[in-house]
Structure 1
Amino acid sequence: MLILLNLLSGVALLVWGTHIVRTGILRVWGADLRRVLARSTNSRAKAFAAGVGVTSLVQSSNATAMIVTSFAAQGMLPLASGLAIMLGADVGTALMARILTLDLSWLSPFLIVFGVPLFLSRKQNRLGQVGRTLIGLGLILLALHLIVETAQPMMHGAGVRVMFGALTGDTMLDALVGATFAIISYSSLAAVLLTATLASSGVISLKVALCLVIGANLGSGLLALAGTVAQNTAARRLALGSLAFKLAGALLILPFTSLLARGLPVLINNPRESVVGFHVIYNTLRCCACMPLIDAVARACRRLLPERPDPNGQLRPMHLDAASLSTPALALSNAAREVLRIGDIVRAMLDNVSHLIHHNDLAKARDTIRMDDDVDHLYAEVKAYLARISREQLDDADSRRWTDIIALTINLEHAGDIIERIVTDIEEKKIAHRLAFSEEGLSELDDLHTRLVGNLQLGMSVFLNNDLRCAELLLAEKERFRDLERAYSYKHLDRLAGQTLRSVETSALHLDVISDMKRLNSLFCSTAYPVLDAAGALHDTRLRKRMHEEVPAVSVTQQM
């Protein structure tokens, strides 16, 4: 029993080591690896090579599958290119299995000894994540050594022979066990490494080992498909196509496992080398044979999984990739992109407001009010996504970025509510009574609207680039807008005193719209404060004086 427990602990250590390596690599080079995958879409050969290279680094075809399916879900990756990357990923994980089965046990202590202090002392930066990766590699090599040492006396136990005897007859059963272990361990690489080690120790026969390897490949495909359940149709198509390739390869090769088990020892005497060599050759030949079939499989996946409209009619998040949550920098980048998308919707709502100021268009008003539901929905999704990011793994810069993103998200949601209120007032007080603003009033509202749109765009730029100069200009624009709002309010009151008919009819609405625009402008300009604060310029009176000189405010007396 103790020997079996030691074996299971070695397996657990192997799985944990592969997880640590995958996480460390993604946190250090995750953005670069995603960029490589994104740029490989114009050529099948480049996509295949990118899949091989990225998977060799992260040591997990499942991690590559998560990245690629997230790209497909966002509409950034064609189905055919994604399938080519997935085929390359299968070859990449086979190559890593070959490297890790070399006798590198002597390297394990060095990797752990250097990796632990590096990670503990620098865990909040890239160098610390490199240390994390070294620890993971050391644990993988240590686990393989422990499994080999533990497996030797196992063959002398009758109970152990009976337990593994169940894996010596049924080909399909053995493949199913291999798939199950790959799913449980969340790593086909760990399943293949364990299989090779058990085969070299004589615990399982070579035929069983080959069936387990084929099953482990199927398990990784099932994992990828399960990971796309909550994603859109494009992501599920990609995972289904990859699984179809693996299933076809398994069905073709499984009937010949007995023949291969007798023939491989003639070429490769070491059972461990035979298992790993079979894994490399099988995946390479299968993936190369599947490359010409990519277009046909892509068409079949489109027929099996056609596009279906969202029954709720709401926009779905495009950039909130759950696979990136383990890499905080990537997750923050995704959240920022989704917030910019919310900003685009708010901009469209503002354009509709300009149309409604000039025209009594009830359909446009109703559509604008509905757009606020999209803003609210995406706001809730971004907020939930940010809440899932581990704050403990964020350094100071990322923590500030997290705060900036959630602050802008809240402000844009408030802006959507304000615009909805403006449109509702226009519908009730102007469209319903077929009224119109005066020519002077329209001119003032148009001017404020133009400045409002400009400040929204400038605010998005400040949020995206953290540009100090733009932040200074944005704060100056906020003060200028405030002065204009006051001046236009006084001018409107002057027109009321002159008994201008249109001004009298739309007076309350006119003043409310101007006031709401001022609130919107404050929300849009708030992105300047974190940048100015970080630069130590927020309370600098000399800066404020310089901004007034560069962008002179419009005084009330000048406007009146």
Structure 2
Amino acid sequence: MLTLLNLLSAVALLIWGTHIVRTGILRVFGTALRRLLSQNMSKRPLAFIAGILVTAVVQSSNATAMLTTSFVGQGLMALTPALAIMLGADVGTALMSRVLTLDLSWLSPLLIFLGVVFFLSRKQTRAGQMGRVSIGLGLIVLALQLIVEAAAPITQAQGVKVLFASLTGDILLDALVGALFAMISYSSLAAVLLTATLAEAGVISLPVAIGLVVGANIGSGLLAFISTNMQNTAGRQVALGSLLYKLLGLVLIIPVLDPLAHWLDTLNLDVQSLVIGFHLLYNSLRCVVLLPTVGPMARLCAWLLPERPEAGGRAKSRHLDPSALDTPSLALANAVRETLRVGDIIDSMLNSMLGVLRGTHTAVAQELRERSDDAEALYSSIKLYLAQMPREDLGEQDSRRWAEIIELAINLKLASDVIERMLRKIQQQKTAQRRSFSEVGLDELASLHSQLMANLRLGLSVFLSGDPESARQLLREKRRFRAHERRLAHAHVSRLQLKVVQSIETSSLHLELIADMKRLNSLFCSSAYVVLEHADTGALLPEKVQDN
């Protein structure tokens, strides 16, 4: 019982070490990896190589699968290059299994010691996060040693020998057992290493070991597909394609299993090296041969898992991937994209307001309420998503970005409420009281509205880019807007002295709309202050820039 517990704890330590390495690498290089994987990789070899490299860095094909399915689900990547990346990830994990089987016993204590020193002394810095990665690598090496040591007594037990004696080389049965190994250990690498240990001890034959390795690959595919259960259809299509490729590999290996086993027996290598070598050879050949078929596979996955139209009701978030919460840079990028969606809704609401002002768009009440509800729903999703992020793990720059996103989301939500109230006022004036603006007054409001739309779009651009020069331009536009708003208010009062009937009837509404637009402009331009407060340019000076 103690031996079994030691084995399970060693496997758990391997899983935990892999998790630490993955999260640490993503926290340090998450933005760079995101940029690499989210590029439009039209060339399949480039996507294939990217999958190998990213998997080698994060030490886990499951981590690469999580990133890739997330990007496809967010519309950052097409399905075809994503499948090529997944094939590369299979090769990458086989390469790492070969590297991690080398004699690295001296490396584990060194990595853990250095990692703890850097992580505890500089926790919130890049060096501290690299210390976290070093701890994870040390735990992986240590776990691999413990797995081999814990499995040795088990392989000598009579019950285990009888159990594995029932595996006589039936590739389907062996693959099923290998898949179970991978799913129980939550790692195809652990399953492959355990298989190599059993084969080295003579508990299983080489053909059985080959079947278990093939099954371990299928088990990792099943794990990836199950983990995407909560994602949208596009993300699940990637995991489905990866699983189908691994099942196809099983079909391709069946006819050549016996000749391959005999050929491997002729090599002058120990059994453990043969099993690990087969794992690398099998994944490499399978993925290279199947790489040209990613296009047809993408179409098959789209046919098997078609996109379903969203049910009616409020808008649903597209980019707030829960699996990215452990990686602040990725989670913040997702929140930024969702916040920009709220900005698009505000832009659409402002367009509707111009149509109502000119009388070309009269039936907007229901449409307006739906858009306002959409903005409310997305704002709530963004707020809850950011609340789930571990704030203690955020560096100074990420903490600042977190606050910027919250601030802009709040401002956009307030803007949607102001616009909804403005449109209700306009419609009530035109329908209930049968009053309309004068031609001059309408042109003035339209010009102010046009300037407001431009400032909204510039404000969103400043929020996205963080460019100080664009932020200065936004503040200049804000001052111009205020000067324009004052001129229009004075011009309206001057028209009242001329006793223009339409101006007198709509005077209160006219001035209220100007005041509301002024408030909207302040909300849209707030992102400039956030950028300039933290830009090392001295651009934000109290005597030069005054708020409203």
Compute the TM-score of the two structures, normalised by the length of structure 1: 0.89
CA distance in 1, matches of 2:181, 2:509: 67
**1:192 and 1:216 in contact (8 A); partners too:** yes
| Partner residue in 2 for 1:210 | 210
| Partner residue in 2 for 1:419 | 419
CA distance in 1, matches of 2:241, 2:60: 18
> Residues 471-521 of structure 1, C-alpha deviation per residue, up to 9 Å, x if partnerless?
455445545544544553454344345432222333333233222212212
| Partner residue in 1 for 2:113 | 113
| Partner residue in 2 for 1:195 | 195
2:291 partner letter: M
**1:241 and 1:298 in contact (8 A); partners too:** yes
CA distance in 2, matches of 1:325, 1:444: 47
| 2:544 alignment partner, SS class | helix
> Residues 306-355 of structure 1, C-alpha deviation per residue, up to 9 Å, x if partnerless?
33221126544343233322211221122112212321221222122122
| Partner residue in 2 for 1:409 | 409
Question: Where do 1:298-313 residues align within 5 Å?
Answer: 298-312=298-312
2:75 partner letter: G
Question: Where do 1:62-77 residues align within 5 Å?
Answer: 62-77=62-77
2:141 partner letter: L
Distance 1:180 1:384, change over 3 A: farther
| Partner residue in 1 for 2:154 | 154
How many positions carry a matched residue from both structures? 548
| Partner residue in 1 for 2:55 | 55
Distance 1:75 1:474, change over 3 A: closer
Select the residue among 540, 544, 547 that pairs with 1:546: 544
Distance 1:40 1:185, change over 3 A: farther
Distance 1:66 1:94, change over 3 A: same
1:441 partner letter: G
| Partner residue in 1 for 2:137 | 137
1:393 partner letter: D
CA distance in 1, matches of 2:95, 2:149: 24
> Post-superposition shift, 1:402?
0.5
1:110 partner letter: L
> Post-superposition shift, 1:167?
5.7
CA distance in 2, matches of 1:200, 1:329: 44
> Post-superposition shift, 1:267?
2.0
> Residues 233-267 of structure 1, C-alpha deviation per residue, up to 9 Å, x if partnerless?
22222222221111121234357656655553332
CA distance in 2, matches of 1:441, 1:16: 67
> Post-superposition shift, 1:292?
2.9
> Post-superposition shift, 1:450?
2.5
**2:148 and 2:194 in contact (8 A); partners too:** no
| Partner residue in 1 for 2:381 | 381
- Per mean C-alpha deviation after superposition, the further-off stretch among 314-323 and 371-380 is 314-323
**1:91 and 1:280 in contact (8 A); partners too:** yes
Identity of aligned residues (%): 56
> Residues 359-394 of structure 1, C-alpha deviation per residue, up to 9 Å, x if partnerless?
242245543442222222221222222122211110
**2:104 and 2:141 in contact (8 A); partners too:** yes
> Post-superposition shift, 1:11?
1.5
> Residues 161-195 of structure 1, C-alpha deviation per residue, up to 9 Å, x if partnerless?
45655666765444334323433444322322333
**1:317 and 1:381 in contact (8 A); partners too:** yes
> Residues 203-256 of structure 1, C-alpha deviation per residue, up to 9 Å, x if partnerless?
544344323322221122222222333333222222222211111212343576
CA distance in 2, matches of 1:338, 1:92: 32
1:25 partner letter: I
The runs of 5 or more residues in structure 1 that have no matched partner are: 554-560
Distance 1:246 1:268, change over 3 A: farther
> Post-superposition shift, 1:532?
4.3
The runs of 5 or more residues in structure 2 that have no matched partner are: none
CA distance in 1, matches of 2:151, 2:8: 11
| Partner residue in 2 for 1:124 | 124
| Partner residue in 1 for 2:509 | 509
2:387 partner letter: A
| 1:545 alignment partner, SS class | coil
| 2:110 alignment partner, SS class | helix
CA distance in 1, matches of 2:210, 2:519: 68
| Partner residue in 2 for 1:395 | 395
**2:165 and 2:203 in contact (8 A); partners too:** no
Distance 1:44 1:354, change over 3 A: same
Distance 1:9 1:454, change over 3 A: same
CA distance in 2, matches of 1:199, 1:220: 21
Distance 1:547 1:410, change over 3 A: closer
CA distance in 2, matches of 1:132, 1:474: 41
> Post-superposition shift, 1:90?
0.9
Q: What RMSD in Å do the two structures reach over aligned CA positions?
A: 2.9
CA distance in 1, matches of 2:72, 2:202: 43
| 2:543 alignment partner, SS class | helix
**2:39 and 2:77 in contact (8 A); partners too:** no
- Per mean C-alpha deviation after superposition, the further-off stretch among 393-402 and 74-83 is 74-83
CA distance in 2, matches of 1:128, 1:163: 47
Question: Where do 1:26-41 residues align within 5 Å?
Answer: 26-39=26-39, 41=41
| Partner residue in 1 for 2:464 | 464
